[in-house]
Amino acid sequence: AQSVTQLGSHVSVSEGALVLLRCNYSSSVPPYLFWYVQYPNQGLQLLLKYTSAATLVKGINDFEAEFKKSETSFHLTKPSAHMSDAAEYLCAVRVNSGNTPLVFGKGTRLSVIA
Amino acid sequence: KAGVTQTPRYLIKTRGQQVTLSCSPISGHRSVSWYQQTPGQGLQFLFEYFSETQRNKGNFPGRFSGRQFSNSRSEMNVSTLELGDSALYLCASSPTQGTTGEQFFGPGTRLTVL
């Protein structure tokens, strides 16, 4: 069975600083990996996804993530935080098939300090 | 294309009542999944429907049920509501073919049980 661990339920960064949100996964078969962002009282918006092509994945709003199989990690980064990046970030895994559900981590709340 | 829509957006019920939530997927999407999101448990998978058939089911009691109609719209029902059912219920749809596992989420229905 797949699982996702997000280290740190809350991360705080200064505006303009590097954003690093950690995600480790467990999967017995090649996975699809996703990062979603959720603003208060809203649904989830896809930031980026890994689908076994390039290991460095670029997403929207200058976010990117690198798939590292040896470390079973898919950490999310952004070079310079903006105030508008404050939100909940969720990492999810799905096995390499269309017929299984997404498994989410517990999420990391990102705060950006002016 | 219009996104995933969910109705109602907010709902207040009392213990013991039942509730029905509705989800309309993106046009052409035949897979609809439901998730429950709470602060303590995060996002948990309820069930997935594809072409009117339940394809996957999460670990929830039988009080939680769903169905999908021929136009791919889906409903979920919760009977005999408990205080712990208070949550954000999210619906997500997926394309039929060529899927990379990506799901598109609606804004959710916020259910409060008093």
- Per-residue pLDDT tens over the stretch A36-63: 999 987 889 999 999 877 889 999 999 9
Residues, chain A: 114
User: Which of B81, B42, B82 lies closest to B58 in space, CA to CA?
Assistant: B42
Residue B18 has pLDDT above 70, yes or no: yes
CB distance A61 to A78 below 8 Å: yes
Which tokens is A109 given?
Answer: 């709340």
User: Are the C-beta atoms of A87 and A39 separated by less than 8 Å?
Assistant: yes
Cα distance between residue A105 and residue B43, in whole Å: 8
Band (A96; pLDDT cuts 50, 70, 90):
low
Cβ contacts of A112 within 8 Å, gap of 6 or more: A12, A13, A14, A15, A81, A82, A83, A85, A86
* A44-50 vs A103-104, strand pairing mode: unpaired
Q: Above 60 in pLDDT, residue B86? A: yes
- Residue of A23, A44, A99 to mutate when probing chain B, most B C-beta within 10 A: A44
The dihedrals phi and psi of A51, each to the nearest 5 degrees, come to -130, 40
Q: Which residues of A touch B99 (CB under 8 A)?
A: 98
Structure confidence at residue A100 (pLDDT): 76
Confidence of residue A27 (pLDDT cuts 50, 70, 90): confident
- The residue among B45, B58, B28 whose CA lies nearest residue B91 is B45
- Cβ contacts of A99 on chain B, cutoff 8 Å: 55-56
> What's the pLDDT tens digit per position in B50-67?
889 998 899 999 999 999
Looking at the DSSP bridge assignments, the partners of residue B47 are B34, B57
Pick from B4, B103, B110: CB nearest A102? B103
Q: How confident is the model at residue A19 (pLDDT cuts 50, 70, 90)?
A: very high
